[in-house]
A and B are shown apart, each in its own frame.
Chain A
């Protein structure tokens, strides 16, 4: 007898699982839905965690393999003797001898920017034509069989080729950047032509490499990745480059210093000073260089290698956002499951009451209902791990292919998988605990008493009492279970965190980029040249002055005094907001445009500088260019793509102007440039605004895949949450609708009641969804926002409206499903369930 009773109890206690539909090998739709949510949530989170770790490892391997410089001093174009630079290094070495930050070695480089002639297909004529591509040349010493010793090019092999990369042996050999190989289809053994100092030179490609300065493959002072094959980087023997340039073989533009070990450096995305010692060494180096007459250089630690820093911050951003994604995705799944479990407990309340009456311990009842999240969690996490691994491989490969860094190895980390699985199970069990606990708290007497449902509040009754009874019923039904409604709305809000937040952030990013390129920049072409070697550019400009609009700019890296983060100082001829009188439009967010000649130079700062430095209109600031401090007063804050300060050239270069020396390194051009000969200017590189716009639009398009995946996941989850609640509401109406149907209600009438309820839930969901989206977009931006990369979030009204409309439509779509169910119902049997 006892055994029989135990058998009955066991079978009863397994009913939650059976009732849920966890029947192998063919589980029902509900089980599939929740497993889907868990797989996606945990899998995606694991993918992000692995990508972050693998990405970090790629960079760690890269930094170690290339011996990334700890300190560097870079000239803005002026060349200095190698011996002077090395003397400064020796001085620093003396200061730091016998300390933990001793100097291991120093090295000098020469950087030159000009162009490369490349044959490309004209998209209009479909004919091949020669195009001159902006090119950066790295002159690197070859010694001891090594192509540099600090921040070296990292040789890469193409797995599809039989040949391997090697360093140049003679001056006529070069190593090209890996991106050049991919984008221009140049291979080892090919002859490639370059223009150096206006002369064409031909060199043999002997290898491919990545280099720290060009990991994020963009020219200086911009964040927009150029189009395919529109930027070239070449690593060549120093002697060869200098010979081609016709300059002194001892001239250098860059000093690299390797400090013992891997000293901490000040991260640009934190307020903490992580590397105080290295910061001191920067000042010591600057002083030592100054003593040697090397003045117009910028001294930085690793954080100043902008390309490296941007990507490091990107990976850090992923790392920071991974717990959020796990929490949100699994939280939504768990919340939705809890809603359904609660419903199951209500439906089985009689059975539970019977079990309790028979003396079943509460713990057994608790466990039987906890078995649902347990089993769903086990099934879901088991599938999510291989799914997550696969996703992480794809994500990492896609990301680094986009960046242009070949990934040597992708590893799977068991600790991350275990952590993700455990966290997922924990979240599911925590959310499942409440309904399971409720099951243990049911009073058998109350359950058996079959009391009619709790009435709505009088306020609700008064408010809806004036409406037709059908509509009153729809509205009151919605609020019948306020906790479930609240949970649905919260679940929807969480789902919108992913999809709505992404939609708003992406639309903000796109419109910001687009307006930055199209509205802020009003030049047609931009000529970049060495400010200390500008005669050819000026000659050309004089000759073209009557036919082409021109604007001279000086752009130099600098920093706010006392702050290590790099910004750009732009010294302009004039300012305007509309880009008509000038070729750069200053998009004022606050304040006014500067006036020249003020006692304290008036300047604009971009919104990022204002935000991160914590300054505003009216504040005074000292910016350092090289070793020269510049006192400015902020009169306006502008929307710019890079961290920057903008002031009049006549203020910034007053000493040079006074000496009638014009120092510029950028020339903006506007007008008909066809046959202007601008591309033939020796020593200068030309880039076109339209190319940047095209490149951005193309790059944006390629990133849509990632965004669409995000949106798909988010919308799937949002729809699942909404449909789950609406279906539960529907089934709870079964007896009511059966009754009304027996009393003769038409399908139309019942549709009205269902529709009202769906619309109310949909509207509530839409409001919460929109709010959650806007808040999340701002939070996501704040989390991703770094010194190097920040932009304002503007909730595009269209995106916001779309979010609300989608949710409302999803809610309304359930109505026909409800009617279909009613038409198929056994009305009499359903009506008899009123007792339950």
Chain B
């Protein structure tokens, strides 16, 4: 069962008398442990998709299941609770609280989740390479360091998924790479599924899966450079399944069975 299951998700907006479909019948399954990159031009719907997944926005149509359970879409407090329990979030401009130190930023989020643990907060900062910088305020840290604090902050509450909206958008390429490495490493170690929205194609090498979106629709869903053999095989199988689905529906299911067998065999070899 996929961790995130989106079926027929659409998000429509009324603007200037016209109806705009920011998302248009999106179907998407994300397995646990994946690091998914969501690529697309401005206005493609990638941020809207992120908002739906993080329960910040409510889809106009379709269903959204998280770990097999329907995600709340109407009650504000219920949606906040969902995020509190399951979602970590990192922002383009870091969004650290300037009145709190790096450690306190992490501990605040722990308090929000009811899991205040100073040692764990320190450990979280150490794990992202910020040993000895826990006492510093955001204004005393570089951009990369601030973003690492933001990653530590999000992971310190042990979320199921980590969402990032252009997390490297405000960083230079070198720092962006460092941050992505830290992010990927931290997610892998903690078993956190990550979904990152970005313009930067260069980051695809860190992702296990790269989804391209345009005009509210997924136009491509491929393996990323950071994937495992199993991941790659699954990705290939998925591509094949999609291509074959164009032929016949029955043939598709048979082919899928074949692919599952092949995939399991490959996994057994690993």
Q: Which A residues contact B (CB, under 8 angstroms)?
A: 450-456, 461, 465, 468-470, 472-473, 476-477, 480, 735-736, 739-747, 749, 823, 827-828, 831-832, 834-835
The answer to whether the Cβ of B265 comes within 8 Å of any Cβ in the partner chain is no
Say whether, besides A461-B101, A834-B95, A828 and B47 are in contact (CB < 8 Å): yes
Is the pair A455, B98 in contact by a Cβ cutoff of 8 Å? yes
Q: How far is the CA of A461 from the CA of B139 in the complex (A)?
A: 14
Whether A749 contacts B111 by the Cβ 8 Å rule is yes
Cβ contact within 8 Å between A744 and B113: yes
Q: Which of A455, A469, A477, A742 contacts B139 (CB 8 A)?
A: A455
Cβ contact within 8 Å between A743 and B112 = yes
Residues of B within 8 A of A452 (CB): 96, 98, 137-139, 146
Q: Do A742 and B56 touch (CB < 8 A)?
A: yes
Q: Are the CB atoms of B80 and A468 closer together than 8 Å?
A: no
Q: Which 6 A-B pairs have the closest CB atoms?
A: A744-B84, A455-B137, A453-B98, A469-B108, A744-B83, A476-B99
Given the complex of chains A and B, what is the CA–CA distance between A641 and B108 in angstroms?
62
B91:A831 contact, CB within 8 angstroms: yes
B65 within 8 A of A: no
Q: Per a CB cutoff under 8 Å, which of A472, A480, A746 touches B104?
A: A472
Of A450, A461, A747, A831, the contact of B95 (CB 8 Å cutoff): A831
A778→B82 CA distance, assembly (Å): 58
In angstroms, Cα B105 to Cα A743, docked, is 12
Are A749's CB and B95's CB within 8 A?
no
- Asked if B192 lies at the interface with its beta carbon under 8 angstroms from chain A, I say no
Cβ-defined contact, B87 with A472, below 8 A: no
Range, interface on chain B: 35 or more
Q: Which residues of B contact A453 (CB under 8 A)?
A: 98-99, 138-139
Tell yes or no: B109 within 8 A of A by CB: yes
Whether A747 pairs with B91 at a CB distance below 8 angstroms is: no
CB distance from B192 to the nearest CB of A (A): 15
User: A834–B165 Cα gap in the complex (Å)?
Assistant: 13
Q: How far is the CA of A745 from the CA of B111 in the complex (A)?
A: 9
Q: Which chain A residues lie closer than 8 Å to B138 at the CB level? A: 452-453, 455
**B107 CB–A CB distance under 8 Å:** yes
Picked from B54, B56, B111, B140, the residue with its CB within 8 Å of the CB of A470 is B111
Beyond A743-B154, A744-B81, A823-B76, is A473–B99 a contact (Cβ under 8 Å)?
yes
> Do the beta carbons of B83 and A742 come within 8 Å of each other?
yes
A744 and B111 in contact (CB under 8 A), knowing A453-B98, A454-B139, A473-B97? Answer: no
In angstroms, Cα B140 to Cα A549, docked, is 86
Min Cβ gap B268→A in Å is 40
- Chain A CB within 8 A of B51 CB: yes
Q: Mark B130-150, 1 if CB is under 8 A from A, else 0.
A: 000000011110000010000
Given contacts A454-B139, A455-B99, contact A745 B112 (CB under 8 A): yes
| B81–A469 CB distance below 8 A | no
Asked if B89 is at the interface (CB within 8 A of a chain A CB), the reply is yes
The closest CB in chain A to the CB of B76 belongs to A823
How far does the alpha carbon of A475 sit from the alpha carbon of B112 in the complex, in Å?
A: 18
> Within 8 Å CB of A835, what residues of B?
93
Q: Does B77 contact A (CB under 8 A)?
A: yes
Given the known inter-chain contacts A454-B139, A747-B77, please indicate yes or no for A469 contacting B100, CB distance below 8 A: yes
Assembly CA distance A749 to B100 (angstroms): 16
**Further 7 A-B residue pairs, CB within 8 A, beyond A747-B80, A831-B95:** A468-B111, A469-B104, A469-B107, A473-B100, A743-B84, A744-B157, A746-B77
- A746–B81 contact, CB under 8 A? yes
Residues of chain B within 8 A (CB-CB) of A744 are 80-85, 87, 112-113, 157
Which chain B residue has the least Cβ–Cβ distance from A833?
A: B93
Bound-state Cα–Cα, A453 to B91, Å: 17
Residue of B nearest to A478 (CB): B99
Enumerate chain B residues within 8 angstroms of A742, measured Cβ to Cβ: 54, 56, 83, 89
A742-B91 Cα distance, complex, nearest whole Å: 10
Question: Cα distance A739–B153 when bound, in Å?
Answer: 12
User: Across the interface, do A480 and B109 meet the contact criterion of CB distance under 8 Å?
Assistant: no
Instruction: Give the residues from 32 to 85 in chain B that come closer than 8 angstroms, CB to CB, to chain A.
Output: 47, 51, 54, 56-57, 76-77, 80-85
State which of A455, A470, A477, A480 has its C-beta within 8 Å of the C-beta of B108.
A470
CB-CB under 8 A from A747, the residues of chain B are 77, 80
Residues of the B chain whose Cβ atoms lie less than 8 Å from the Cβ of A450? 93
Known contacts A470-B108, A741-B80, A744-B87: does B92 contact A832 (CB below 8 Å)? yes
Contact A739 B112 (CB under 8 A): no
B116 located at the interface, meaning its Cβ lies under 8 Å from any Cβ of chain A in the complex: yes
| Residue from A455, A469, A746 whose CB has the most chain B CB atoms within 10 Å | A469
Set of chain B residues within 8 Å of A831, measured between Cβ atoms: 91, 95
Residue among B87, B98, B107 with max Cβ neighbours from chain A (10 Å)? B98
Nearest CB to that of A451 among chain B residues? B139
Q: Is B100 in contact with A735, judged by CB distance below 8 angstroms? A: no
Query: How near does chain B come to A478, taking the closest CB pair, in angstroms?
Result: 10
Most buried by B among A452, A473, A736, A740: A452
Chain A residues closer than 8 Å to B101, beta-carbon distance: 461, 465
Contact of B56 among A451, A454, A749, A827 (CB under 8 A): A827
Interface centre among B47, B77, B100 (most CB of A within 10 A): B100
Chain A residues, CB < 8 A from B99: 453, 455-456, 472-473, 476-477, 480
CB proximity of A82 to chain B, nearest CB, Å: 88
Residues of A contacting B113 in the complex (Cβ-Cβ under 8 angstroms): 744
A553 shortest CB reach to chain B, Å? 71
Minimum Cβ distance to chain B for residue A786 (Å): 53
Pick 15 A–B contacts, CB within 8 A, sort by A. Answer: A450-B93, A452-B139, A453-B98, A453-B138, A456-B99, A469-B100, A472-B100, A476-B99, A739-B95, A740-B112, A742-B54, A743-B153, A745-B84, A747-B80, A832-B92
User: CA of A270 to CA of B250 in the docked complex: distance in angstroms?
Assistant: 110
* A834 touching B112, Cβ below 8 Å: no
CB distance from A743 to the nearest CB of B (A): 6
Contact among B51, B112, B140 with A749 in the assembled complex (CB-CB below 8 Å): B112
A744 to B137, CA, bound (A): 22
Given the complex, which residues of B lie within 8 Å of A745, measured CB to CB? 80, 84, 112
Nearest Cβ in chain A — how far from B150, in angstroms?
A: 10
Whether B96 lies near A828 (C-beta < 8 A) is: no
Q: Report if A468-B116 is in contact (Cβ < 8 Å); known contacts: A743-B154, A744-B83.
A: yes
B123 vs chain A, min Cβ distance (A): 17
CA distance A827 to B89 in the complex (A): 13
Residues of A within 8 A of B95 (CB): 735-736, 739, 831, 834
Question: What is the distance, in angstroms, from B109's C-beta to the closest C-beta of chain A?
Answer: 6
Knowing A456-B99, A743-B89, A835-B93 are in contact, say whether A469-B111 is a contact too (CB < 8 A). yes
In the complex, what residues of B have CB within 8 A of residue A736's CB?
95, 97
* Chain B, residue nearest A474 (CB): B99
Q: With the chains together, A147 CA to B101 CA distance in Å?
A: 89
Rounded to whole angstroms, the CA-CA distance of A570 and B107 in the bound complex is 76
Q: How far is A473 from B111 in the complex, measured between Cα atoms in Å?
A: 12
User: With A and B bound together, what is the CA distance between A639 and B77 in angstroms?
Assistant: 63
Q: Which residue of B lies closest to A744 (CB)?
A: B84
CA distance A146 to B85 in the complex (A): 98
The digit string for B170-182, where 1 denotes a CB below 8 A from any CB of A, is 0000000000000
Within 8 Å CB of B83, what residues of A? Answer: 742-744
Complex CA–CA separation, A5 to B146 (angstroms): 39
Measured CB to CB, the nearest residue on chain B to A834 is: B93
Pair B91/A455 contact, Cβ less than 8 Å: no
Distance between B23 CB and nearest chain A CB, rounded to angstroms: 14
Q: Which residues from chain A contact B93 at a C-beta distance below 8 Å?
A: 450, 832, 834-835
Report A749 CB to chain B, min CB distance, Å.
6
The interface residues of chain B lying within 8 Å CB-to-CB of A828 are 47, 51, 56-57, 165
Q: How far is the CB of B146 from chain A (nearest CB, A)?
A: 8
Residues on the A chain within 8 Å of B80, using CB: 741, 744-747
Q: Within the assembled complex, what's the spacing in Å between the Cα atoms of A468 and B121? A: 14
Q: Determine the distance from Cα of A754 to Cα of B111 in the docked complex, in whole angstroms.
A: 16
> Which residues of B are found within 8 Å of A454, using beta-carbon distances?
98, 139
- Bound state CA distance, A749 and B114, in angstroms? 10
CB-nearest residue of chain A to B50: A828
Task: Give the complex CA separation of A599 and B153 in angstroms.
Answer: 89
B159: nearest residue on chain A (CB-CB)? A744
